[in-house]
Amino acid sequence: MSAPENDAEKALLTEDVSHNARTLLRLREMLFKGEFQRGERLSELPLSARLGVSRTPIRLALERLAHEGLLEASRSGGFVVREFTIDAVWDAIEVRGVLEGNAARLAAERLEDDRELDTLRRYRDEMNSMRKPALNEDSFSSYLDLNERFHSEIVRLAKSEMLLWTLDRVISLPFASPSALVFARSKLPGAAEMHIVGEEQHRAIVDAIENGQGTRAESVAREHARLSRRNLEMVLTDRDILSCIPGNSLIKT
């Protein structure tokens, strides 16, 4: 889901936003960037000094991050940075695949007018056209953005508020997001082939949706998430590439 992400970043820059929101965003970003160790205790006072706000917004943000799954409550109060096993990352991607599969199915089943797919097709075509020239840093970043938009557009087409909500909860774990492993993949040998497969899957998903093939849409979307799992598998062989995964510092290897 890239739209909230963008809003978030904007909010981080413009100063006219509550301390609460800014603190939450900053802490989350710090967690993603690995500024804390796994298992490290996050005490309110030092954070308060570091971020220049009082303990109140810090407390609220910590509580929230715990519910998001990035922190866990310590037995005797306070919070520590959670650590995720590789299996947990694996399973998080599996869960995303299942939910995105369902989204694709519902998108096919609930389609009323073919023009509803215009946006999705545009994303697909734009991504596809980007394949021809080799991707540089800049265009790669917009490719990732398009990829997230594509995935979130399918969820929108599912017309299920609850599914959207559930999926948002899952991909709030950084390594579970649809683009999490795409960047790391680009560093791998065989990246080009994987990229081609991924694009073909995108094409097949759109094709299935526009032809009302719910079951096909579901299974292709699931398999598409498995591509992330396959990327993960290969990325694990190289520590440097592993460090390209967002939130990698939370992952126990």
Partner DNA sequence: TGATAGGGTGCTGCATGCAATTGACTCAAC
Partner DNA sequence: GTTGAGTCAATTGCATGCAGCACCCTATCA
The CA distance from 231 to 247, in Å, is 16
Answer for which of 12, 26, 32, 44 binds DNA (CB under 7 A) is 44
Indicate the burial class of 13 (C-beta count within 10 angstroms; 0-12, 13-18, 19 or more). Answer: exposed
Residues 75-104 that bind DNA (CB under 7 A): 75-78
User: CB under 7 A: which stretch of 49-57, 84-92, 132-140, 185-193 binds DNA?
Assistant: 49-57
Return the residue matching tokens 């590439």: 241
Positive/negative CA dihedral, 16, 21, 22, 23: positive
Q: From residue 131 to residue 150, what is the string marking binding to a second copy with x (rule CB under 8 A)?
A: --------------------
48 vs 128 by CB, closer to DNA: 48
Shortest CB 36 distance to a second copy, Å: 21
Alpha-carbon span 56 to 19, nearest angstrom: 9
- List, as one string, the DSSP characters of 171-236: HTSGGGSTTHHHHHHHTSTTHHHHHHHHHHHHHHHHHHHHTT-HHHHHHHHHHHHHHHHHHHHHHT
Least Cα distance to 70 among 170, 182, 178 occurs for 170
- Does residue 109 belong to the site contacting a second copy (CB under 8 A)? no
Of a second copy, DNA, none, which one does residue 211 interact with (CB within 5 to 8 Å by kind)? none
Our finding on whether 19 is near DNA (CB under 7 A) is yes
Whichever of 77 and 190 has its CB closer to DNA, that residue is: 77
By beta-carbon proximity to DNA, the closer residue of 76 and 237 is: 76
Check binding of 78 to a second copy (CB under 8 A).
no
Assess 8 for contact with a second copy (CB under 8 A): no
Dihedral of CA 130/189/233/36: which sign?
negative
Q: Is 98 one of the binding residues for a second copy (CB under 8 A)?
A: yes
The pairing of strands 251-252 and 84-85 is: parallel
Measured from the CB atom, the residue of 64 and 121 that comes closer to a second copy is 64
- CB of residue 196 to a second copy, shortest distance in Å: 28
CB-CB contact of 4 with 167 (8 Å): no
**Residue placing its CB nearer to DNA in the complex, 62 or 106:** 62
Which two tokens mark 112?
Answer: 């009323």
> Residue 57 touches which of a second copy, DNA, none (CB < 5 to 8 A by kind)?
DNA
Q: Which residues would be at the binding site for a second copy (CB under 8 A)?
A: 59-60, 63-64, 67-69, 87-88, 91-92, 94-95, 98-99, 102, 106, 160-163, 165-166, 169-170, 173, 176
